[in-house]
Amino acid sequence: MTEKGLTEKIALVASMIARAERIVVFTGAGISTESGIPDFRSPGGIWTRFDPDDFTIQKFIASDETRRKQWKILVEEGLFRNIEPNRAHRAIAELEQMGRLDCIITQNIDDLHQKAGSSQDRVYELHGNMQWAKCLDCSSLFAMEAIREQLLNGKEIPLCKRCHGMLKPNVVFFGEQLPLNTIEAATCHAESCDLFIVVGSSLAVQPASFMPGYAKAAGASLVIVNMSPTPCDRLADVVITEMAGKIMPRIVTETKKLLKNLPC
């Protein structure tokens, strides 16, 4: 795409944001790869180095040895430690600060939207959050950093401090259902928005990939910013095939200019 064509698309998306009343942003792995987190399925991703079958909920619950192995992997990998949000995360947070954002629906488990300044109660995490461990018995949450310290000090299988129940990372394992309340809330927001913006998702993983369709079917405009084509490109009003960190700040800058010139 020429720079002129790209500039025109960015201006169009900015005008859509300026006019919209309820904007939902949907994010996937592509936004976080720019912060240095490899896509789990890409070369160098975790599933190229470890067997996904070792991360099933059934094995985790049934076997002490599996839990020991999974916790060891999580400690050695140091998943998401010292990872910082990038320009795309910050641009999306800025949309909220501008009063233009209803919510974020994300497939990511890295907490980077919150680190960038997005409000926790506006972020719907479809696959959980790696910063926390959850007790499967009493549902208590514990900071993953505290669990990490236990593991580094020789504790092979951490237990809940409150009820001594089984702890697991607060993310969705293979074979585990997505959190129903989160899915329902995200679907409601998708169906009631007037602008749905996809950032960094291939829209290949169900049921999360249904969200743009829900929004479009309800009458919303659809914008997709992603490095590769998606199955929903044919439904979109605007498709920008570029890096999120390059495009989202430009969109926000153009939106600010438009809002500044709008009559009160």
Distance CA 199, CA 162 (A): 39
- DSSP single-letter state for residue 172: P
Q: Is position 164 annotated as part of the catalytic site?
A: no
- Helical residues (DSSP H) of 55-175, grouped into ranges: 57-62, 64-77, 87-97, 112-116, 144-152
Q: Determine contact, residues 178/127, Cβ cutoff 8 Å.
A: yes
Helix (H, G, I), strand (E, B) or coil at 264: coil
- First CA to last CA distance, the chain: 36
Token pair of 105, please? Answer: 């629906």
- Helical residues (DSSP H) of the chain, grouped into ranges: 3-19, 29-32, 57-62, 64-77, 87-97, 112-116, 144-152, 180-192, 211-217, 244-261
Q: State CA 76 to chain mean position distance.
A: 23
As a residue count, the chain comes to 264
Distance CA 207, CA 224 (A): 18
Distance CA 236, CA 121 (A): 27
| Helix (H) or strand (E) run with residue 24 in it | strand 23-27
Indicate which residue of 89, 113, 127, 189 is catalytic.
127
Q: How far is CA 13 from CA 6, 70, 89, 216, 254, in A?
A: 11, 43, 17, 16, 9
Active site residue ranges: 127
